Amino acid sequence: METAEIRRRWLAFFESRGHTVVPSAPLLYDDPNLLFVNAGMVPFKPYFLGQETAPYKRATSVQKCVRTGDIEEVGKTTRHGTFFQMNGNFSFGDYFKKKAIKYAWEFVTGRQEDGFLGFDPDKVWVTVLGPGFHPDYPEGDKEAYDHWISVGVPAERIQGRSLKDNYWHMGVEGPGGPCSEIYIDRGPEFGADGGPEADEDRFLEIWNLVFQTEEITDVKAKDDFRVVGPLPAKNIDTGMGLERVAFLLQGVDNLYEIDEVYPVIERAEAISGRTYGADAGDDVRFRVVADHVRSSLMLIGDGVTPGNEGRGYVLRRLLRRAVRSMRLLGVTTPALPELLPVSMEQMSKSYPELKRDFSRISQIAYAEEEAFRRTLTSGTTILDSAVSQAKSSGARVLGGDKAFQLHDTYGFPIDLTLEMAAEQGLSVDEEGFRRLMGEQRARAKADAKAKKQGHGDAHAYREVADSIGHAVEFTGYDEVRSEARVSGLIIDGEVAPAAAAGQDVELVLDRTPFYAEGGGQLADGGRIELDNGAVIEVRDVQSPIRGLIVHKATVVSGEVAPGLAAHALVDLQRRRAISRAHTATHMVHKAIREALGDTATQAGSENAPGRFRFDFNATSAVPVSVLGEVESKVNTMLLEDLEVRADVMTQEEAVASGAMALFGEKYGNEVRVISVGEWARELCGGTHAQRSGQLGVVKLLGEASIGSGVRRVEALVGSDAYDFLAREAAIVGQLTGDLKVRSEELPERVSSILGKLKDAEREIQQLRQQQALAKAGQLASQAKDVYGVSFIGHHADGLGADDLRALVLDLRGRLGADRPGVVAAATEAKGRPVVIVATNERAREWGIKAGDLVRVAAQTLGGGGGGKDDLAQGGGQDAGKIDEALTQVEWTVGARATQR
């Protein structure tokens, strides 16, 4: 049974039993504690945490997930994969254990010809929370045990296990409860008999049914927490691993061999000439390739781009591990163009958007592979140098710090370091490398732990939200002044009964016209006036939890308390300026896609008063001419004075209308679509101008790279753009007056002047060099004899570094080769001292090396330097010590000569 068919059957089964089918959330789901969605229940967390009321009593989904905590184990076991799909069915205060167990048993053991999975009931084992592990369950989860008995599972195939195995919570305060897991017996060839307690390779878990019963806090470990009390409603949260079920039903040994993954291995076999199953080491590499290519495909599809931190770093690591594994399989040509299309063809059966968006996805992936291939080239050079240094010192082991530097700074994989060092007869201090890696991971875990406390910080917001009992109504689409009532106050993270003049507060109204920062749009500002005469100045607006809008403000006068009537007034000038910028962003996005193609999708934005920045996916710089075309197109559409319209519709209707959705944004079942005429159309929750003509003018200031595959345009809108253009015009006017040319002749005249200036500088440089070289004969004749070494130390005035180098080399040649010779010369270039030292072959035979001497001089100058034994250069900070530095070089030459 194909994986896509298992997915289809799951959704159809639960939809027929009254569950709302919820599409998978993007992997970039907006959760402060997660890089990616890592479990099927993540999109439903606000409902389980009580932050929001679920819009349905029952739901089902097949959620895309990524976990990278065990990335090093991928390919080594049958259990570890970075991307996976979690089938889930959820109940929010509706059915509980009895129906959840009934549904699970029916779907797992029902006949395939009737639309179920068709597992042999005699091979199904289940686990429940056992007796004695939880004070609230002295007999264990007997209720779940009895329900399993009632559907037909014999008692001998139901095992009671500890809190570590059969109690679920999120690792932070929130909902928790016992869980029940379903296992399939794969047969004696996979391990010992005795159920999951005996062997979890033979008895493979496919489904976990979580019975959310209570609220917990003080969470220290899986089995160390404190129960606060019962939840207001009991919930069901279940998850069935789609890939695990697929490999069981497809009769293969692991998730790497299912229909959605194995074709990549087959293609890797074809281009590498190696066979999967022939060598254990190669098998791990094949599996890494198959897993990481699929994960990268899904991550890029959901809007992740390679980078040096966060989500981008994870993607970069996955892509580079895949490329590296192909290299270790003997493939040195680009591999992703061979592998990524294969993965796309398989995954698009369930996610057709991958095929539609493959041009963008592949462009990003292939550019990252090319960048990594360049890294491998430069890393190889650095590794060769490190190996050479180790050999020259007589070492047979490359230091762990060198291996770690190659890995951490240059992205050079450790296994390539091991392989290439071994080729040159060196081993690597793996223990030292692993220790440094462990220290880095410990720092990362500490950062993650610190981030994980976000739920605890939200308690005051949840308390206020609970007291309101409904989501705060945002009225700002239709008005900038609203009558409202104070619903809550928060001071220093705690709910407060009142606030006085001078205090900073977080104030919540039951309804508000103030836009909370989001979707790239900055927050509104303004003031709130209360019936009792108090005035509050609003400086920022945020939505810390869904459904709550919080005004960060200062009480200017009077006293504030919940229950008081309020008059909310948005700063109209700021709102209009931000709205114009937001509309301009949509228009620039559309124009850029028209100019560069559909792969140039938005990767971020910020809409501020009168200005905006817009990030988009592109693998190379945008030519100035193309940027000019984009600006021209946008301003042409402004002259059309198009209506800017907001329509509310379903997601399906929005996509059918041609509206763009942004990666990582959270959208409900109903979405808001902003249309600029019939030209630009996007899903957007922000505020906008009413007509394109209200923008006045849009001026693009330029574009630049902000990371691998991401470019940024910065621009001005409205009066800010006009002011900028006016200043530019004034500058042009001044230049045309000074140069006595018309404005259209200005570029040619400036170019001519610059050309003449460069010619003059070149002539001056040649004259200086000639003058310096003219002195060379005199300087050579004045060479000192320093204990048998001919030495020239010269403080040159007015020479650049290149001229100084030419002089030093000329002087070394004039000293001859019959006796040791050293030349040290220094100058001040661009305000900093520069020193260059050269030695002839006889001097080097005496152990006098230019690199050593230049370091002596540079130390005196307050800097550093280095180079080869025959020629070296250094510099520093203190040009006043040039003569002292040359004297130090002379003394050092004498010391070395007398030691010979």
Q: Between these two residues, 392 and 452, which has the higher pLDDT value?
A: 392
Percentage of the chain exceeding pLDDT 90? 60
pLDDT of residue 289: 96
Residue the block writes with tokens 């900055």: 522
Once rounded to an integer, what is the mean pLDDT over residues 599-607?
87
CA–CA dist 594, 590 (Å, integer): 6
Q: In terms of Cα–Cα distance, which of 610, 541, 607, 605 is closest to 577?
A: 610
The region of weakest confidence among 157-171, 660-674, 810-824 is: 660-674
Yes or no: say if 790 and 842 are a contact pair by the CB < 8 Å rule.
no
Residue the block writes with tokens 């907006």: 30
Query: What region does 830 belong to: left with phi over 0, alpha with psi -120 to 50, or beta?
Result: left
Question: Residue 205 CB: number of other CB atoms within 10 A?
Answer: 19
**Quick one: pLDDT band at residue 447, thresholds 50, 70, 90?**
low
**Quick one: pLDDT band at residue 174, thresholds 50, 70, 90?**
confident
List CB contacts of 865: < 8 A, sequence separation 6 or more. Answer: 835, 854, 855, 857, 858, 872, 873, 874, 875
Q: Between these two residues, 38 and 286, which has the higher pLDDT value?
A: 286
pLDDT of residue 453: 42
Q: Between these two residues, 206 and 438, which has the higher pLDDT value?
A: 206
pLDDT of residue 372: 85
What are the pLDDT digits (tens) for 46-98?
888 777 788 899 999 999 999 887 777 788 876 678 999 999 999 999 999 99
Is the per-residue pLDDT at 111 higher than 60?
yes
Once rounded to an integer, what is the mean pLDDT over residues 235-252?
94
Is the per-residue pLDDT at 451 higher than 50?
no
Once rounded to an integer, what is the mean pLDDT over residues 9-22?
96
- The residue count of the chain comes to 900
CA–CA dist 235, 534 (Å, integer): 44
pLDDT of residue 454: 42
CA–CA dist 148, 180 (Å, integer): 10
Is the per-residue pLDDT at 239 higher than 60?
yes
Yes or no: say if 444 and 451 are a contact pair by the CB < 8 Å rule.
no
Question: Which pTM was predicted?
Answer: 0.67
pLDDT of residue 410: 66
Amino acid at 273: G
Yes or no: say if 639 and 661 are a contact pair by the CB < 8 Å rule.
no
What are the pLDDT digits (tens) for 702-722?
998 887 678 899 999 999 999
Q: In terms of Cα–Cα distance, which of 585, 587, 591 is closest to 604?
A: 585
pLDDT of residue 824: 95
Strands 397-398 and 494-495: unpaired
Yes or no: say if 177 and 228 are a contact pair by the CB < 8 Å rule.
no
pLDDT of residue 54: 87
Strands 504-509 and 481-491: antiparallel
**Quick one: pLDDT band at residue 373, thresholds 50, 70, 90?**
confident
pLDDT of residue 494: 92
pLDDT of residue 456: 40
The region of weakest confidence among 128-132, 255-259, 326-330, 457-461 is: 457-461
Is the per-residue pLDDT at 219 higher than 90?
no
pLDDT of residue 33: 67
pLDDT of residue 549: 95
Adjacent-strand bridge partners of 704: 712
What are the pLDDT digits (tens) for 758-777?
999 888 877 776 776 777 88
Once rounded to an integer, what is the mean pLDDT over residues 399-427?
78
Adjacent-strand bridge partners of 566: 484, 530
Q: In terms of Cα–Cα distance, which of 513, 514, 512 is closest to 525?
A: 514
Is the per-residue pLDDT at 663 higher than 70?
no
pLDDT of residue 669: 65
Q: Between these two residues, 394 and 785, which has the higher pLDDT value?
A: 785
CA–CA dist 873, 805 (Å, integer): 9
What are the pLDDT digits (tens) for 553-572?
999 999 999 999 999 999 99
pLDDT of residue 84: 94
pLDDT of residue 449: 52
Is the per-residue pLDDT at 657 higher than 90?
no
pLDDT of residue 108: 97
What are the pLDDT digits (tens) for 91-105?
999 999 999 999 999
Q: What distance, in Å, lies between the first and last C-alpha atoms of the chain?
A: 83
What are the pLDDT digits (tens) for 452-481?
444 445 778 988 988 888 889 999 999 999
Q: What is the 3-state secondary structure (H, E, C) of 150-179?
A: HHCCCHHHEEEECHHHHEEECCCCEEEEEE
Is the per-residue pLDDT at 195 higher than 50?
yes
